[in-house]
Amino acid sequence: MSTRANGEVVVVGGGVVGLTTAVVLAERGRRVRVWTRDPVERTTSAVAGALWWPYHIEPVTAARAWALRSLEVYGTLASRPEETGVRLVDGAMGETDLADVESWAAGRLPELRRATAREYAPGPAVWARLPLIDMAVHLPWLRERLRRAGGAVEERTVSDLAEADGPVVVNCTGLGARELAGDASVRPVRGQLVVVENPGVDTWLVSTAPDGAMAYLFPQPGRLLLGGTSEDDVWGLDPDPAVAEGIVARCAALRPEVAGARVLEHRVGLRPVRDAVRLERTVLPDGRPLVHHYGHGGAGVTVAWGCAEEAAALVASS
């Protein structure tokens, strides 16, 4: 069978980027199998706070286009939050100038305006209604959407991309691309967060202190996610109790009702950061087409749909 139109594609990597890419390909008529080392519920994407925002991702112009396309998709998915895990939630993005956001998102973000001092006291901020994704629901939903489109997810560990047996291979391995693609420019940025019982917070908030310390509060059904950290080139996955205390303290300084909230869980994830997203078509040693699609850092959820469509176009040219 031709590798075009109806040809099989193996997507290596089962996080949000890999699954979304697989869904786009399957719904365009390709036969798709996703190979993932871990169940989708245990990928790095499962740890994400998952607020839509183009967070530290290059190239900026392309990333904003991918993000805005993804915003359209999430807006539709938000009509079925219990099924898709996507909700539109109001909140404040601290240390952000309204003019800067309007320069790329004017007319696209509901409720976009300057935040009031009551909404965000530390300084300038914007207020917007953004997609907030519950990854515990969204990732299994993506897997099921792929299954309905005729695709499949297989738990497979590979040591070489050439092991993928499809006529076309898509590399969505994130941090794993350091080894599988021989790309030492992919590096971990460690993030830690604390999950607590929600004391009544119903809006999200992101704040960055002058010293660079971050604080964010993301209300999810039945819980509140508190963050966070951004530690370059740190590989450890064990939660640090002192870091967790600092996270709670920073969040409580912004929302006092958080102080004393019962801790439900600690989470640590490694963002797969690269100077710029690698999205390009090349070939495997045996000549089969290989599309690289990794390096999204902490913005994988934000750009997933727009970037997946571009990756699918590269597959279509194979």
Is 229 labelled a binding residue? no
Is residue 195 within 8 A of residue 225, CB to CB? The reply is yes
Is 176 labelled a binding residue? no
Q: Which of 246, 295, 251, 244 is CA-nearest to residue 267?
A: 244
Structure tokens at 64: 């904003």
Is 271 labelled a binding residue? yes
Among left, alpha and beta (phi > 0; psi -120 to 50; other), residue 123 is: left
Q: Is 300 exposed, middle or buried (0-12, 13-18, 19+ CB in 10 A)?
A: buried
Is 298 labelled a binding residue? yes
Among left, alpha and beta (phi > 0; psi -120 to 50; other), residue 246 is: alpha
Is 260 labelled a binding residue? no
Is 40 labelled a binding residue? no
Is 301 labelled a binding residue? yes
Q: Residue 268 and residue 195: Cα distance in Å, rounded?
A: 11
Is 299 labelled a binding residue? yes
Q: Residue 87 and residue 85: Cα distance in Å, rounded?
A: 7
Residue 134: CB atoms within 10 A of its CB come to 21
Is 173 labelled a binding residue? yes
Q: Measured between alpha carbons, how far apart are the two ends of the chain, in Å? A: 13
Is 185 labelled a binding residue? no
Task: Give the residue numbers of the binding site.
Answer: 44-45, 158, 173, 216, 271, 297-302
Task: Give the residue numbers of the binding site for D-dopa.
Answer: 216, 271, 298
Task: Give the residue numbers of the binding site for FAD.
Answer: 44-45, 158, 173, 297-302
